[in-house]
Amino acid sequence: MKKLSYLAAALFLSHTAYGQADPAPLDSPSPNISMEILIGAFIATALMVLLASLAMLRAFKVIAQEMQHPSPLFENEKVEPLEYEEWQSRKSSKPGIWTKLLGLKPISEESELIMEHEFDGIAELDNPTPAWFMWLFYGTIVFAFSYMMYFHVFDYGKMQEEEYEIEMAEAKIEKEAYLAKAGNNIDENSVKEDLSEAVIISGKAVYTSNCVACHGDKGQGLVGPNLTDKFWLHGGTVNSVFKTIKYGVPEKGMIPWEKTLSQKQIADVSNYIISLKGSNPANPKAAQGAEEG
């Protein structure tokens, strides 16, 4: 085996040296994969042949040693065959796995298990319940007592009704969190016109913080167009307004707000802008774009 280890190491080192003898530059094409596979198969075949040769050499050495110095032959002790009746009696005297598991006594020992008292010719055997079964039975009693003390006496555990109420409360919280998250999953196709008070208040706050500088505090228009008339450069529906705010109009100097505002904020401010139609603020900017009803 030492020779085999030395030879394998030599083959590995020779293959490594072969692979590193002429390193290719970084910008050269990749090496021939087929040649690498062929070399690997050759090395593997050589190792298998070497292993087979060493095994045969060892076998020949053992054969030669046995021919020169034969090992003494030991005869097995002769065992007399048993009669069928004796074999049957020995077999029946050995308890089976099921008998051992249940801890039962064999039928052959029944005469030794008969108890002293009897009634009307009927005797009782002293063949008690297996110990493992009794421990299991006692364990159920201990479990029942512990269950009663834990749930019904000290009230440490939760009953089914309490668990139901707790799970329903947790489900309600998860539902509210999901709906709040789903409320932000709005785009220019799914946004709906909503002029409710809560939406208008939220949208006005967003407008005041981000849009006043270009469109005026009343939407009358400054640098940006007037948002209160019937003329629109990029559409006056809530979907069009949402899209304009989300993606912006970079060629006109309006930045896209999708990275600054949430989808819900864009929807709210879009609805607030829709609510400004016909408000007729003082000093409005001249109309721009196409008229929309």
What is the per-residue pLDDT for 81?
Answer: 77
Would you state the pLDDT for residue 271?
A: 93
pLDDT attached to residue 22: 44
Where do the structural domains in the chain lie, given as residue ranges? 197-291
Residue 104: the pLDDT is: 66
Classify domain 197-291 at the CATH class level.
mainly alpha
**Total number of residues shown for the chain:** 293
Give the CA dihedral 217, 221, 227, 230, nearest 10 degrees: 140
Residue type, 189: N
Give the integer Cα–Cα distance in Å for 282 and 221: 11
Task: Supply the pLDDT for residue 2.
Answer: 47
**Tokens of residue 62, six digits:** 């053992």
Is the Cβ–Cβ distance between 257 and 209 less than 8 Å?
Answer: no
pLDDT of residue 213: 92
Task: Tell me, letter by letter, the H, E, C secondary structure of the chain.
Answer: CHHHHHHHHHHHHHHHHHHHCCCCCCCCCCCCHHHHHHHHHHHHHHHHHHHHHHHHHHHHHHHHHHHHCCCCCCCCCCCCCCCHHHHHHHHHHCCCHHHHHHCCCCHHHHHHHEEEEEECCEEEECCCCCHHHHHHHHHHHHHHHHHHHHHHHCCCCCCHHHHHHHHHHHHHHHHHHHHHHHCCCCCCCCCCCCCCHHHHHHHHHHHHHHCHHHHCCCCCCCCCCCCCCCEECCCCCHHHHHHHHHHCEHHHCECCCCCCCCHHHHHHHHHHHHHCCCCCCCCCCCCCCEECC
Global pTM reads 0.42
Task: Provide the pLDDT for residue 83.
Answer: 74
The whole-angstrom separation of Cα 55 and Cα 46 is 14
The pLDDT of residue 117 is 79
CA count, 13 A, side-chain hemisphere, 106:
11
**Using CA atoms, how far apart are residues 188 and 246, in angstroms rounded to an integer?**
8
Per-residue pLDDT of the chain (293 residues; tens, 9 = 90+): 445 445 555 544 444 444 444 444 444 444 567 778 888 888 999 999 999 999 999 998 888 888 888 877 766 677 777 776 777 666 665 666 766 666 666 666 777 778 877 888 888 877 777 788 889 999 999 999 999 999 999 988 888 999 999 999 999 999 888 777 766 678 888 888 999 999 999 999 999 999 999 999 999 999 999 999 999 999 989 999 999 999 999 998 899 998 899 888 999 999 999 999 989 898 899 989 888 86
